[in-house]
Structure 1
Amino acid sequence: MSKTGCHSTIQPNPPIAAMPSTHSSEPSEKNDGVAAVDRALHIATALANASTALTLTELSHVTKMYKSTLLRLLSSLERAGLVTHRTDKRYTLGPLAFVFGRSFEQAHGLQGAIQPILQWLVDQGTESPSFHVRHDQDRRLCLMRIDSKHSTLDRVRPGDLLPLHRGAAGKVITTLGSNLPPHPLTAADLAFTSFGERDPLCGAIAAPVFGPSASLLGAISVSGPLERFSELAVERMKALVLTAAQKATQSLGGQWPLA
């Protein structure tokens, strides 16, 4: 039969997509719901990382969302208390964020256990100490930070999101975040350094903090201008950071992996 000029009188079956189905919208509804949650969390994170309250235009620029989408999600977040719409038309985190933070601290006790140890490092004359946790697949979050007594400092603040795959604290999280190495550990396995990786003018030294069941809670690090990271200073601060990480681990119910 020729491929041209041939017309069949048989009507084809209706396409599958046109056939009614009671379940066809369910995956779409689920995907839409997940996407809405992701966008709402993205908004809350943007507000948490902002140094000041944001206008709708500024929030749209930061989140790359349309204003119409933002307004719909912000309305839901405001009803839940996670976002506040101020009288000056700017948006900030609401009181629910404080409740979340207090609950997190009560559950983990990180502030009470780690803040004094960071202060101890400062008292020993180290560079500025901080505590970092994994935020997502690409970033780490600075939860705590105390400035050193030096006159010049690096620019890291609590709440900063930093690259997970650059910097000493990021190395701790990516290397030890899943499982400890199977071989007996030494101090060299737990002390990580970076020199000019995240910031070409800064250096850092970090060590892991473990919780119960050998779970990695985060990383204690000291960081500052690279010019002060001489070989002697690095060896001294390595020992201090390892001691600090061991103290924090034991305070939080973990077991330090070195004998």
Structure 2
Amino acid sequence: MTTPDSAETAAGQSDGVAAVDRALAIALALAQAASPLTLSDLSRATGMYKSTLLRLLASLERANLVTKRADRRYTLGSLAFLFGRAFETTHGLREAITPILAWLVEHGTESPSFHVRHGTDSRLCLFRLDSGHSTLDRVRAGDILPIGRGAAGKVLTAYADGQAQGSGVPLVFTSFGERDPLCGAIASPVFGPGGMLLGALSLSGPLERFSVLAVERMSALLLQAAQRATQALGGAWPEAGPEHGTEDAA
């Protein structure tokens, strides 16, 4: 039987969860923005009323997650930097991954990047290094991209439950014009201890440079890079299995 007190408590908990969700939506909008945002910008980005935003922004400012500048625009505060530094320190990803991205560029590949899952329907480009080519795709570190399109998204979906021995899941996935009709990409998983998926290492660039021979050459380099990253992060690389996926859409 539900009592008035229990109903009030449940309502309070529901309101609290909703407030947290809205606060995180504000922080995400600021994280995705290329520049500081006005209150009107935030209202458009989040779909919230300005009165609601002002109340939540005041709490976020007190926690130093959001900063209000002198020009009345909002940006992420120092707490966001601490979160990012703590994430990198805990996982040790930057130290292990960035030298491998540089190694790929030195070997003439397309632009390498490292993606991790971000919620249910998206992925986050955590690290990115431009290739030496004169024309590039537009992916940047910090970009949030759809999980359902692109080679890195396929990897993160296929290995969502980690590395399954003998599963027959390929180690290289390709994407030709799926997320962006002018771009191509190939991607491979990076594993941690216990076969846990840590992320997807990918190479992306203009589709015109993804010939059959170029994809074969870059796939070989990508597999070497993914294996090195896996070993550097305490994982074990699969001993055998198919290299390429058979479901890739052109």
TM-score, with length taken from structure 1:
0.90
Query: Aligned partners of 1:184, 1:214: CA distance in 2, in Å?
Result: 13
1:184 is displaced (CA, Å) by 5.9
Query: Aligned partners of 2:98, 2:164: CA distance in 1, in Å?
Result: 28
Q: Tell me what 1:151 maps to.
A: 134
Q: Tell me what 1:127 maps to.
A: 110
Q: Tell me what 1:253 maps to.
A: 234
Q: What value does the CA root-mean-square deviation take over the aligned residues? A: 1.5
SS of equivalent residue, structure 2 residue 201: strand
Q: Tell me what 2:247 maps to.
A: none
The one-letter amino acid of 1:252's match is: L
Q: Tell me what 1:218 maps to.
A: 199
Q: Deviations over 1:108-163 (max 9, x none)?
A: 01111101100100000000000000001111000110100111110100110101
Percent of aligned pairs with the same residue?
67
Q: Deviations over 1:151-187 (max 9, x none)?
A: 11101001101010100000000000114345265xx
SS of equivalent residue, structure 1 residue 24: helix
Counterparts in 2 of 1:230 and 1:120: CA distance versus 1, 3 Å? same
Query: Aligned partners of 2:222, 2:18: CA distance in 1, in Å?
Result: 41
Query: Aligned partners of 2:167, 2:200: CA distance in 1, in Å?
Result: 20
The one-letter amino acid of 2:53's match is: L
Q: Tell me what 2:31 maps to.
A: 48
Q: Determine which of 166, 169, 182 is the counterpart of 1:183.
A: 166
Q: For this pair of structures, how many residues does the alignment match?
A: 240
Query: Aligned partners of 2:198, 2:163: CA distance in 1, in Å?
Result: 13
Query: Aligned partners of 1:258, 1:198: CA distance in 2, in Å?
Result: 31
Query: Aligned partners of 2:105, 2:61: CA distance in 1, in Å?
Result: 40
2:191 matched to 1:202? no
Q: Tell me what 2:145 maps to.
A: 162
The one-letter amino acid of 1:41's match is: L
1:27 is displaced (CA, Å) by 1.7
Give the gaps of 5 or more residues in structure 2.
241-250
2:61 matched to 1:78? yes
Q: Tell me what 2:100 maps to.
A: 117
Q: Is the contact between residue 163 and residue 196 of structure 2 (CA under 8 Å) also seen in structure 1?
A: no
The one-letter amino acid of 2:199's match is: G
Give the gaps of 5 or more residues in structure 1.
1-15
Query: Aligned partners of 2:19, 2:165: CA distance in 1, in Å?
Result: 41
TM-score, with length taken from structure 2:
0.93
Q: Deviations over 1:199-251 (max 9, x none)?
A: 11110000001111111010000000110000000001111111111111111
Q: Tell me what 2:244 maps to.
A: none
**Higher CA-based Rg:** 1
Q: Determine which of 214, 218, 221 is the counterpart of 1:237.
A: 218
The one-letter amino acid of 2:78's match is: P
Counterparts in 2 of 1:127 and 1:30: CA distance versus 1, 3 Å? same
